[in-house]
Structure 1
Amino acid sequence: MDDSGAPVPPLFVVPTFLPPADSLANPNNLPTTCSVELAGFRGLQAASPPGETSPAFDLVVRVDNGHDFPVRHGGGDVVVSYAGVPLARGRTPSFELYAKEAVALPVNATSEGVGVPEDLLRLLTEERRWGVAQLEIELKVAWESFACDVDVDGRARSSACYKPTTIY
């Protein structure tokens, strides 16, 4: 009831989900997106003496510029991990993408002679046998960080990247 004693009609709350304000102002201006394809790998074996095969990954990083303006990238670090353990590092080449363009970048990530720890190799071998083994790939493109989870099943397939959340 209000101050006069009259009944107050019930208040209904209807949740509304709106896209970000910048996309409302310019609906054709979409974010930069990435995907990664694991084209090949070698050296996924126990730690070995120097000079023997160490982990190396052939990746294809696809970058789509959804913006209405160019995106410039001076090259960036790529880290390939398994179960939170870094296995190899590489770099994306530099590039410039104009509005709404895409590019596929070859990236070779290596470990410079370091093998896979034996316990980690056992876990990887078991997960591959069950078909659930995934590599985590972290990369930076222009001013944004991305992460991808890529299956290690021997088939080349693309995996969409996401923006990692940081917990402080």
Structure 2
Amino acid sequence: MASTTDKKDDDDGCGCFSWILATILINGFIILLTTLPSKKSIAYPDNKPTTCSVELAGFEGLQPALSPGAASPAFDLIVRVNNGHTFRLRRRGGDVIVSYGGVPLARGRTPGFELGDKEVLALPVKATSAGVGVPGDLLRLMTDERRLGVAQIQVEFGLAWESFVCDVELDGHPRVAECYKPNSVG
């Protein structure tokens, strides 16, 4: 009987040491996986994301909807795409929406393109409206904000699976605005 009590003193029978060791190993493995860089970043170490900017080259039709000879809002845009990747980008055209104060004013489409690694491309876009003029309240807000120098149109567009948004000053001068991805804004 002495041998069974000696065995019992050496091992309490719960296997706690094994559970603690397994927990430490599993947590260490998870921490290691979350801190390692992705395979893509290892394969392409100088890989930067695709970035875009929009230049407002011109606009027309920002007048009251009921004024005589009112024209539809139209915007001439230049969308610049910067391929930071070390591989070619091939994209179909995407929809472009120009809005002011959350109200869509015009729509257009970017043309399809193919862009080599680390290349930059300028895409001309004409965004127009099927409607006539700008609603009165929105035009008054736009006029007041233009007078204060804070008027901005918002240009939203998609390139393949990525969406971009640009806030472009509406002061009558050609302006370039860097775009951001809507889901990356905090």
C-alpha change, 1:67 and 1:133, in structure 2 (3 Å) is same
Q: State the TM-score, normalized to the length of structure 2.
A: 0.74
Query: 3-state SS of the aligned residue for 2:182?
Result: coil
1:56 and 2:59 matched: no
Matched, 1:71 2:105: no
Give me the whole-angstrom Cα distance separating, in 2, the residues matched to 1:106 and 1:48. Answer: 30
Map residues 85-100 of structure 1 onto 2, 5 A cutoff: 85-100=103-118
1:43-73 C-alpha deviation (Å, 9 max, x unpaired)? 0011147974110000000001111111111
User: What per-residue deviation string (whole Å, max 9, x for no partner) do you get for residues 85-120 of structure 1?
Assistant: 000000001100011111001000000233211000
Partner of 1:21: 37
State whether residues 49 and 85 of structure 2, in contact with CA within 8 Å, keep that contact through their aligned partners in structure 1.
yes
Aligned-residue sequence identity (percent) comes to 64
Does 2:144 match 1:113? no
Task: Give the CA RMSD over aligned residues.
Answer: 2.3
2:51 matched to which residue of 1? 33
Instruction: Considering fraction of residues, name the structure with more strand.
Output: 1
Q: Does 1:147 align with 2:165?
A: yes
Identify, as 1 or 2, the structure richer in helix: 2
> Which residue pairs with 1:137 in the alignment?
155
Label 1:28 to 1:20 Cα distance change in 2 as closer, same or farther (>3 A): farther
Q: Look up the SS of the partner of 1:61 in the other structure.
A: strand
For structure 2, the 5+ residue unaligned runs are 1-34
**Superposition misfits of 4+ residues, deviation over 4 angstroms:** none
Q: In terms of Rg, which structure is larger?
A: 2
Structure 2 CA distance, aligned partners of 1:65 and 1:56? 28
Structure 1 regions of 5+ residues with no counterpart?
1-18
Secondary structure, counterpart of 1:21 in structure 2: coil
